[in-house]
Structure 1
Amino acid sequence: MKPFTCFWLTAAWLLAPAPSFSAALDEELAAALNAAKWTSSLRLELQRPIDPRLARIESGDILRCGLFPGKAHLVHNAAEVRRLSGTLAPGDQLVLAAGEWKDASFVFEGHGTMDAPILVCPEKPGGVVFSGASSVRFHGDHLVVHGLAFHGITVTRDSTTIFAAGNGEARPARHCLFNRIRIEDCGSPNPEDRARNHVWLMSMRGSDNTVANSTFAHLHNIGQMLGAAELPPEGLQRLHILNNHFSSRPYVDRQNGYEVIQIGWSGARAAPTGSLIQGNTFEKCDGENELITLKASDIVVRGNRFVGSQGVLCLRTARRVLVQDNVFDGQGRENTGGVRLQGDGHILLGNTFRNLNKPADYYAWPVSLMAADVETFGETDELGGYGRAKNILIIRNRFEHCDKRIAAGIYARPEFPLLPVNVRVQENTFSGMKSGSSFDYVAPDPSGALTKELHESGNRDAP
């Protein structure tokens, strides 16, 4: 059988393939740390390079990129996929026949290599759309799943996953690429079920995987668009979420659980991950106040755009997170926020906070630091709710036409008595805003200790 052509046209909103942690950005960080005389606890050595196969796949005709020299296997239904599971050789292609794949569910296992991964793609670009009650699950090593679409998937039961990477703890996905996947308009047809039936558009379990250049839109149910809560039992997660578009996550009710992305979970010890969230766009994502929730450590969040979204990037139970060169543009919508911090060792560098207006509460401030109940999250058996915000550097960011600035010690109360410690705010620009301190909310502290922990220098107001 001759190889099929499975190239995929680049959508206008996608960014160029993400580079590795570049020298220019290293220099930006180094210059900021030097200016602040700040000793960083970031563990950037845990980061892996961007998978070099992604650039080759994105260069044009995917089958002419040199990665898939093996045999092409054309399949017409889920049963044929299941029969081939676990049998393909490195470099082979599993080619899905063009058409609507309705109510198609399968698990596929494959074991490729770095130089010869196994490809899963449609027979024709855009030619395969999963519908009805479809769901798919992939596990193994060095799989490339490219160009599949899921539209209008009907969900009638709780805890439904539409696209899963990894099949339980014993069968993870490792060193896999999931590229140009589209998952749209999926969920419960009955509006009354949307707050009860948890849905994951995509879930990730394993290590060294990449989700790139994909579209996630119009999820109304409780659950995540991309969930990666279960970290590997050994080793680092090192998940890369690159150049994707997340949109139209509407508000349903006040429950927790409507995040767009979740990494880790609060029942674990803020484990290191070495994961990267880069180059993504989040547009009109209003599901809850935590748009992204990070419940793990050693993560880089860089070069993303948050547009008109009523939620924040929340460093929920995280340590040593770098938040760099992102744009938080509320477009003047009420209750659009920026970054909420708990934990220690975080750096906010070079971000733009723009038109974030009328926060309903302190959660939605451009930048807020919470009060806490444990000194360092994850160091004892009693994990607690929040780790103290401490050793935080906020440097060379721009705040443009926002109604607020930075809030320190939000929601301090007897059960959360630990206020921020050693917070440096330096060389930031506040444009089109009322002049004054960088901190427009400071929690009451009769001892006066909190104000001595908030250090401002070199900040400036601009028209």
Structure 2
Amino acid sequence: MRLINTIKLSLVLIGCLSTQIAAKDYFVEDQQAFNDIAANLLAGDKVILKNGTWSDFEILLQGQGTKNAPITLTAETHGSVILSGQSNLRLAGQYLEVSGLVFKGGYTPSSAVIEFRRDKKELAYHSRVTNVVIDNYNNPDKRESDYWVALYGQHNRFDHSHLVGKRNKGVTVAVRLNTPQSQQNHHRIDNNYFGYRPTFGSNGGETLRIGTSHYSLTDSYTLVENNYFERTNGEVEIISVKSGKNTLKNNVFYEARGTLTLRHGNGNLIEENVFIGNGVDHTGGIRVINKDQIVKNNYLEGLTGYRFGSGFTVMNGVPNSSINRYHQVENATIENNTFVNVRHIQLAAGSDAERSAVPINSTMSNNLIVNQSGNQPFTTFDDVTGLVLSNNAANTNVLDELAYGVEKQDIKLKKAKNGLFYPVSKKLNVGVKRDLKVLQKEEVGVSWYPKTPALTAFDSGKTINVKAGADALLNAIENANTGDVLVLAPGQYDISKLVKINKTLTIKAKKEGQSKLTFQRSTLFEIHDGGSLKIDGLSISGENAPDAIGNSVVRTQKWGMIENYRFEMTNTEINALDINHSFHFFVTGKGAMADTVVLNNNTFNEITGDVLRLNTEIEDLGVYNAEYVTVTGNSFKNVKGSLVKLYRGGSDESTFGPHFEMKNNTLNNVGLGKRNKEKASIYVHGVQVTNIENNEFTNSAPIVVEHTVGEPITKVLKNTFKETPAPSVKELRVEGPHTAILENNNVINEGQ
């Protein structure tokens, strides 16, 4: 018997040795050379791509490697092989490994940039993609959906990679369970850097999704660990778990708007994750839905989100729910989590006529809840007796119905070496474990590619003085670097060309009001991808604009913007936008998305159109044109259109905004033009957060607010309406009285 075993072992060793001897290294200099060898790669073969830019290169790595002799494809130097144009990568077979590539300067021609399959029949197994970068590799049509990474098959790994700047529709990384060969897959997604994903402005902006609702009762067994999510703001679900038996462990979410959502599927484990919000709007934590979920030893701090994006949410379900709606929370275990300055913990959230199945057979124990503001964070929306609380500690009183399971204590916190807050008293044995390892950003992704800031701040570059005159200004704009400030000398600037803004730029007057800009084209400034514009202290007149309909001072690219932008204007005079009708100040193109639009301390006189026209997404698909619109301290006089038209249609619940704030403005004769179809001085449709306060309206059209979905927060407070109708608020989708708060407004109609 010993002799037979020795012979078998010898044969195995000889087989391994022969495989290693037969393996080849291929140094590939062009696509044809790769295609010549691609179909005949054997276990142990290594393909090395020559440094340089490879355009329109669709790579298919296929073959049957082994555990000890995988087939590999790598860059000559990691980071020096650039896949641009319409390039992608597919893997099909066993034990394949790819590393060192960078995708930028283009977009995938297929459904994914990296795909662990050749087609529906040929998948990848026991394969790995590591140390790759995908940087702003976006389809120019923002609404065209694709994945950056799509995992199929089983036992695959995506790790130590850097993904930043996904701007078109579609999940950044998706685990697909659409065939039996991709279920119970045991994939591993680890040690990746997920960088900035801007607010998408509709559904379809998740960073990671595991499964889909159709296969959500199937188990995936995917492990997601040691990943860093920084400002992944696409939509309300940063991670959408839509399958069962997954583990999400030791991930960090830094200033990330949205939540880790257990949207579908049962029996998932969420542990030792860290959520740091730093008070940023809509930063969230964990949302619990479905059966047998375990949420333990997670640390959540400085989170401001509410409703479905709150710091912690336990949802109501739908009785006998269809597979794509909300299954009841049952047998959830929520224990040993720490909540520090988490503004909202919401239980039985989403309760309504449809979502009436309250949480049952669930526990919430040994959690630490500290709010230094002194405000207790809990909100209950339905019966929560099926969620039993025990041995939780808080520094505030909580709701009476929860007080039986939350003890108020005098809790002093101290920051530990791992950067987290713990009770000074070690006798208080609740909350996250004291030796929790906190992942650092430097530990993830690749070492050879920088993790640069998401946005260039205004006024962060050089200050450049510009002599009076159009040519001097145009040359300065052309030669400026992003972040620069152009300071205009006093004088006249009559611009004969459309000025394209494709960088972050500030244009300001050296002496406020003494630099006058006029323009001879249909618009003065047009914002393109990469562009953000700040205007300060100028005087802008439409007196030299064409005698045509539909002029504007600022507009975005008319169609096809993929990058979000910012626009700010302060201390500026806008006059004579009246050479013909429908002369607007600011007009958004279709598909354009503003992170911020800010008007502060400006004067607007004689305008035949609208001031802010942010209403091109009229298909009612939950899409909109601006996240934050802020109007403070301005004067508007003789504006025939509306001050703002801000529109978000549809019934989608996955977005944060729009947000509209308007304070301390004066409006005189605004909104009364015959072409103002909305017949409103302010028209906001489907806006999620509206705050209109301390403004004075004189002889103007009314405020018109239309609620469409969710639980919008609308406040109209302390305004004066002289010869102006009172505000109008309508609920377009929900029966009953409107939910807006209208208080301390003064309506003065002397003619009545």
Q: Is the 8 A contact 1:238 1:273 kept in 2?
A: yes
Could you say which residue in structure 1 is the equivalent of 2:213?
266
1:209 aligns with 2:131: no
1:363 aligns with 2:308: yes
TM-score normalised by the chain length of structure 2? 0.48
- Structure 1 distance, partners of 2:133, 2:288, is 31
Could you say which residue in structure 2 is the equivalent of 1:182?
133
Could you say which residue in structure 1 is the equivalent of 2:380?
442
- Structure 2 distance, partners of 1:281, 1:339, is 16
Cα distance per residue 1:429-448 (max 9 Å; x no partner): 112346687x711123xxxx
Deviation at 1:374, TM superposition (A): 4.3
What residue ranges of structure 2 are gaps of 5+ in the alignment?
Answer: 1-18, 395-410, 413-752
Deviation at 1:67, TM superposition (A): 8.8
Q: Is the 8 A contact 1:349 1:394 kept in 2?
A: yes
Partner amino acid, structure 2, of 1:459: N
Cα distance per residue 1:260-284 (max 9 Å; x no partner): 0111110124211111000000001
Query: How many residues are matched?
Result: 377
Over the matched positions of the two proteins, sequence identity in percent amounts to 25
Partner amino acid, structure 1, of 2:380: V
1:324 aligns with 2:271: yes
Q: Is the 8 A contact 2:178 2:215 kept in 1?
A: no
- Structure 1 distance, partners of 2:384, 2:293, is 19
1:460 aligns with 2:393: yes
Partner amino acid, structure 1, of 2:361: N
1:351 aligns with 2:298: yes
The equivalent position to 1:415 in structure 2, one of 331, 337, 354, is 354
DSSP-derived class of the 1:452 partner: coil
- Structure 2 distance, partners of 1:139, 1:421, is 44
Could you say which residue in structure 2 is the equivalent of 1:373?
318
- Structure 2 distance, partners of 1:328, 1:68, is 50
Q: Is the 8 A contact 2:249 2:270 kept in 1?
A: yes
Could you say which residue in structure 1 is the equivalent of 2:224?
277
Matches within 5 A, 1:269-308: 269-308=216-255
Matches within 5 A, 1:221-232: 221-232=168-179
DSSP-derived class of the 2:283 partner: coil
The equivalent position to 1:240 in structure 2, one of 172, 188, 193, is 188
The equivalent position to 1:428 in structure 2, one of 367, 382, 400, is 367
DSSP-derived class of the 1:312 partner: strand
Structure 2 CA distance for partners of 1:67 and 1:232, relative to 1, 3 Å: farther
Matches within 5 A, 1:116-131: 116-131=69-84
Q: Is the 8 A contact 2:77 2:100 kept in 1?
A: no
1:315 aligns with 2:262: yes
Structure 2 CA distance for partners of 1:67 and 1:243, relative to 1, 3 Å: farther
Deviation at 1:68, TM superposition (A): 10
Q: Compute the RMSD of aligned alpha carbons.
A: 2.1
DSSP-derived class of the 2:180 partner: coil
Deviation at 1:299, TM superposition (A): 0.2
Cα distance per residue 1:219-269 (max 9 Å; x no partner): 111111111233441451111000000011001212x21110111110124
Cα distance per residue 1:314-355 (max 9 Å; x no partner): 111121011000001112101110111111111111100110
Could you say which residue in structure 1 is the equivalent of 2:694?
none
Cα distance per residue 1:169-202 (max 9 Å; x no partner): 311110001110110011134xxx21x1112111
Q: Is the 8 A contact 2:347 2:384 kept in 1?
A: no
1:91 aligns with 2:44: yes
- Structure 2 distance, partners of 1:422, 1:414, is 22
What residue ranges of structure 1 are gaps of 5+ in the alignment?
Answer: 1-65, 445-449
Structure 2 CA distance for partners of 1:303 and 1:231, relative to 1, 3 Å: farther
1:251 aligns with 2:199: yes
Q: Is the 8 A contact 1:337 1:366 kept in 2?
A: yes
- Structure 2 distance, partners of 1:185, 1:384, is 31
1:401 aligns with 2:337: no
- Structure 1 distance, partners of 2:286, 2:205, is 17
Partner amino acid, structure 1, of 2:329: A
Q: Is the 8 A contact 1:207 1:232 kept in 2?
A: no
1:169 aligns with 2:120: yes
DSSP-derived class of the 1:80 partner: helix
Partner amino acid, structure 1, of 2:128: L
Deviation at 1:383, TM superposition (A): 2.3
Structure 2 CA distance for partners of 1:384 and 1:119, relative to 1, 3 Å: closer
- Structure 2 distance, partners of 1:416, 1:69, is 62
Deviation at 1:311, TM superposition (A): 1.0
Could you say which residue in structure 2 is the equivalent of 1:70?
23
DSSP-derived class of the 1:140 partner: strand
